[in-house]
Structure 1
Amino acid sequence: MNGEAGRTNVPHILIVGGGYVGMYTALGLQRKLRRKARITVIDPRSYMTYQPFLPEAAAGSLEPRHVVVPLRKVLKRCHVITGEVRSIDHASKTVNVDPEAGEPYDIGYDTIVVALGAISRTLPVPGLADVGIGFKQVEEAIALRNHVLDRLDVAASTTDPAVKQRALTFVFVGGGFAGVEALGELENMAQYARRYYPQIGSHDMRWVLVEASGHILPEVGPEMGVYTVEELSKRGIEIRLETKLESCVDGHVVLSKGKPFDSDTIIWTAGVKANPVLGHSDLPLDERGRVRCLPEMRVDGLDDAWAAGDNAAVPDLTADEPGVMTAPNAQHAVRQAKLLSKNITRSTKGRVAKPYKHRYVGSVASLGLYKGVAHTYGVKVRGFAAWFMHRTYHMSKMPTFNRKARVLVDWTMALLFRREVVTLGRMRMPREDFRRAAEPTRPRHRE
């Protein structure tokens, strides 16, 4: 299949990536351009995941299906392709796509929007690829919830102290938003679930946060970072600052400080990096592998290529020093996506695109149910107020009224009823029982 086939007289806008930036850019373009352009969106998943809500989905406060938005449902005037982009050749204006089934093929375009986002930034830690769990997609959040509850089942059912200790040891590597929020929510959930496991004592679970630097949550400032350490420590969580994970072969955790120990659960949230697909393109990249952009999010030196979000190096016009780029976070992605669709529309009409300019207003983080920290507009907030701010802000940024309503219903039901703490861990092997039943049985020989 070749993208040139079936080309019409209207320009073809190709958006690679269906995350927040890709989906909102496509949504804006289909509203503004209508029949004046063909819009295609390519992503390995058929839905957009709102990542700030993943910790609550993992803890069971939100239904996982409610933190994702089906692309085909909201992008009704766009052509959505479920597949992976393998390379971008802007010189010939084609991308190579590997669909879920069938052979790879090329798609042509007139204008491209690069919204591939970022992937987990890993290090060559022995054993990490085999036992580590990431935390960037809804599938990982579901699997992690099932895994933690499954470990409680294992610990409550064994008579081996070593097996029990290993099952109840949970390690999080990375002290940024993802790591701290996932740790806070899952520890909160597990402590609640413990009431149904009389075999597990209040001090049997061990939660460890490993951070290579000397502080956590730098986005909320030093004071709130210290408060977070104190708050988590009061809950019995071990905070290992200036410590690195050196090895985790077969779950045997070796840190740069302290004694080794065993764990069945190792969650890696130590940063992100630009999507490596960009390395298979002829687009200009910076030293961190991101697409070099002008302030209006046009790719540097190209009139018909745009980029935004975590995979784009967009100059921060509000910074005190030149050369600073906008941080790869949800706050910038939300605003860049909305301006990007407007700028592309302006460009197609021969008008001047506007530069992206947004002064960072601060950050909010959840530390579990009714607990949080925030540093916004110079004001520092903690406890219930910060937790409420966290929910309110992300509710306002959740795409579509449909998803906002579903999230609100989930929160309301959580206030009225107790948490669901059932594990569906066997979903990873849905055919196992049927396979056993379908196996031919050997006839017994009579003597």
Structure 2
Amino acid sequence: MSNNASALQSDISNSLSTRPQKADEHYFVGKVLKTAQGDIKITEEMAKKIYRYLVKNDYTDEQDRITDAYIDARKAGTLAAMPGDLQPYSDPILDVIDSIYTDKQLPAIDDDRKGKINPLNSNFDKKEFQELWQRINHKAIYQVDFDSAELIAKAVKELDQHLRVEKLHFNIVRGEQVDNATYEQMKTGQGFAVSETEREEYQHSVHSTVKYDLLGKVSELTKLKRSTVAAILQKIQKVVFDQFRNNPEDFISQTARLINTQKATMVVEHLTYDLLEDKFDSSIFTAGQTKQDFVHAGQPLKKHIYDYLITDSDVERKLVFGDPKSNDPGGLESAKEVTVYAKLPRGFSIPTPVGNYNPDWAIAFEEGAVKHVYFVAETKGSMESLQLKAMEQAKVDCAKRFFEKLSEQISSKKVSYSVVDSFKSLMNIVR
């Protein structure tokens, strides 16, 4: 909530808090009910019945303050019926109850940026961004031609060395309740002291109740033929394969992961892309948007295609807003060379043999200020390729192939693609 909104709600709270805060019998005695037949004063007997009505239905707490149950039922029109002799005066009695102060009735004064859709702004229609979008807006298909025998050999070696399946087991925890445990201790799980733990492995055969399509599932997860998966599993050591019976699901998951790692290291050098006539619809920039909380998003952006941006990491925040602690504190928002930029939506993806890849940023620079006017960037915390996981590195390498293919079909102002870890590293590439 912004400072102005907080101050306004505080002012309202201060002005209302001078009202009575307890719904006890004493409060109701003598209050005047406005009815069609005229004014009626609440007697001590009526006050006692009103008080009992509130207590019976949990509309007041132990301090006789109005509860959420009353507030919610009042708003929903589901309040419990009053006793028979009070029913003719139900509405004026509720008006008297409503006059009791509770901060639960304060109006919700939210920051205008909270819980809002983040619409595209005029930067999206800028000539520079539309030209960049037309250059990268191509769907594609890929082809990979590599030696299956080589993949099988590498996968077998990888599985023999690193496939370790966790056995199904139970963790047994024994403990005793602490002396004189308080309510808060019980509520927070601190009311018991652990005295002993024991791990007991599950000994029964999992095959007795569940059937697994081992070849089919691994084939699905690796996008390999069943025959290729079968060739890999037939060649691994028996002691490695026997782990399947201990935990089939973990065996399948880890086997697919390790095969995909080997596959990722092989595909790039044998990968080619063919561009399709089909393109992405610009609706991907707004499709599937849900209300987002922009309370901490700062001021509206000047060069982004949306007014606000919720970044995924500290690296991304520094790329956009700069790093005051850096020797080169600039960012996309403040850089004179940047005309317009966009955090690309998840709907824009490049197909790769190891899963779809979604680049991070599309940036249009001022023409003449840099050597690469149109740029697509991937932000990573480290520039060392060896520190990227094999799957991540494979996707990045595939993306390079994709943008190389794009550049072959663009006569001028080609789109450059690279991985950056800061605004400084980005500018070192484009200058």
**Range class of TM-score, shorter chain:** under 0.3
Pick the structure with more strand per residue.
1
Whichever of the two has the greater Rg, that structure is 2
Pick the structure with more helix per residue.
2
> Given the two structures, how large is their TM-score scaled by the length of structure 2?
0.20
